[in-house]
Structure 1
C-alpha cells in the first residue's frame, strides 16, 4: 500500500514515516506544491489510486476541498492531535473519509484505508471469491483451492488492484498508479506486464487445472475473473 503523506512539521514526519514503514506501507511525503498540480491525475479511470494522509494543519480543509473538486476519489485520512467533535465534523463534511487522533498505528491505518477502498468498489466484506481463488483486502495473501499463494509486496499490490475490480478491465496505468504512485506518463509501463506474468505463473502452478484467471484485454488492460480460466493468456 502506498500513501501520500502531508505532514509539514519536521518534528513529526520522521516518526510518522517510520511507523508506516513498520507495517510495509510505502509513504510518499508531499508538500504544499502537490496540491497546486493537476489533482485529477489521482482519479484516473477505474482506479482510486493511493490514499492521502493529511495533517490537520492550517489549510487542510482547503486541501480536501481542492482534492474533491478535482474529482479525486482517493481515500483521505486526516490526522488530528486531539479530539474535537466540531472540527472533525467539518473535516468529514469537506470530504475526508476518516479522522484519526495521533499517534496513529500503521496496522490500524491500513485496515481503515482497506475498508474505505473495498466499500468504494462495492465490497462489504474483506474478501472476494473468484472461482477457486479467495482474494483478501486486508493484506493477507490470497488462497487458491484452499492453499496460500505467496506473493511479493508488489505482486500483492497489483493482485489487490485486480481483485478490487474483479470482472472489470483495469487499465495498465491504474495498476501502475496503485503500485508506484501517479505519473503524468508512466515511465516503465512494461514492468506491469512482467509482474502480471509472474502472478499468472504462480496461479497456473497452484490451481488444479493450471488456470490463469487474469485475462489480457488488448489495448485496454487486464481483467481478473473466472471467465479467463479456459482462455490462453499472454502478456
Structure 2
C-alpha cells in the first residue's frame, strides 16, 4: 500500500516509516499542513491507500483541519489518527470529523500494522479479520472468541484483554499496558491487581473450552504473554506455577 504520513516529530515519523516499510508498504512523509500534498484534492485521493495523521502540527492548521478538508472535498481515503493525546474527547472529535480509527502513542508496531490492515479491509469491503491461535479464533470485526468452533462468552474487559494479547502475540505486556487499554486513562483503578482478576477469569473460560489450555502465560515480574504453541510439559509446569497467581487474583476479587 501507499501511505501518507503527516507528522512533524522526526523520531515518531521515523518509527512509523520503519514499521511500514518493513511490512512492504510505501510511505511519503510531510511535516506540516503547509507541506500537505494538495494533489490529493485534485486527484480525488486515489494516490494514497491510507493517511496517518498527527493532530498537533506547526502553524495555524492542525490535523483536525486537514481531516475536515479531506472529508469536505469528498475524499474517502481512510484516515488513522496517531496522537500522544489519549483523552476521550479528542478521540470522539477525531472520529466525529471522519477519521476511521484513533491510535495513541506510544504504540506497538504489530498493533499499528493490524489497525492499518483492518481499516483498509473495512473500507475496501474485504472479508472479516480472524486471528487463529491453536484451537482459538479471535474475530476482531465481531469481537467474538471461538474455541473449537464454539463461542466463548467474554465480558467487554475480558475480550479487550485477549484482543490486546492477540495484537501483540509473543510480546510481554505489563499490567500498566492492560490498564491503559482497558480504561484509556478514564476512571483507571489505582491498584493494577484488578488486571490479575480479569486475567484469572479469562484464563478459566479459555481453559474450560480448550482442554485446560489458554495460551496465556505469566512472565514473572513483567506481565503476560500470548503464545501460539505450547508444549504439554511446559504448559503443565506453567499451570502449576500460575496456580498461586490465580489464587491471589481470587483473593483480590473476594475482598473487592
Question: Which residue is equivalent to 1:210?
Answer: 212
Structure 1 residue 137 displacement after superposition? 1.7
Question: Which residue is equivalent to 2:226?
Answer: 224
Q: What SS does structure 1 have at the residue aligned with 2:57?
A: helix
| Residues 1:217 and 1:65: Cα distance change in structure 2 (over 3 Å) | farther
Contact between 1:80 and 1:101, CA under 8 Å: does it hold in 2? no
Question: Which residue is equivalent to 2:56?
Answer: 64
Larger RCO of the pair (alpha carbons < 8 Å, separation 6+): 1
Distance 1:196 1:171 in 2: 12
Structure 1 residue 153 displacement after superposition? 1.0
TM-score with structure 1 length normalisation?
A: 0.51
Alignment match of 2:182 (pick from 176, 179, 183): 179
Contact between 1:214 and 1:224, CA under 8 Å: does it hold in 2? yes
Q: What SS does structure 1 have at the residue aligned with 2:144?
A: coil
Contact between 2:176 and 2:192, CA under 8 Å: does it hold in 1? yes
Alignment match of 2:148 (pick from 145, 150, 155): 145
Distance 1:200 1:93 in 2: 32
Per-residue deviation, residues 113-161 of structure 1 (Å, max 9, x unmatched): 3999976144746221111111122242111111111100111111111
User: Which is greater in Rg?
Assistant: 2
Question: Which residue is equivalent to 2:138?
Answer: 135
Distance 1:88 1:94 in 2: 15
Distance 1:84 1:114 in 2: 20
Alignment match of 1:192 (pick from 188, 192, 195): 195
Structure 1 residue 101 displacement after superposition? 8.4
> Structure 1 residue 163 and structure 2 residue 166: aligned?
yes
Per-residue deviation, residues 94-125 of structure 1 (Å, max 9, x unmatched): 968x9978587xxxx8xx43999976144746
Distance 1:220 1:135 in 2: 25
RMSD between superposed Cα atoms in Å = 4.5
Contact between 1:149 and 1:206, CA under 8 Å: does it hold in 2? yes
Distance 1:102 1:193 in 2: 35
| Residues 1:228 and 1:114: Cα distance change in structure 2 (over 3 Å) | farther
Gaps of 5+ in 2: 1-52, 59-63, 84-90, 119-128, 246-256
Structure 1 residue 191 displacement after superposition? 0.4
Q: What SS does structure 1 have at the residue aligned with 2:170?
A: coil
TM-score with structure 2 length normalisation?
A: 0.48
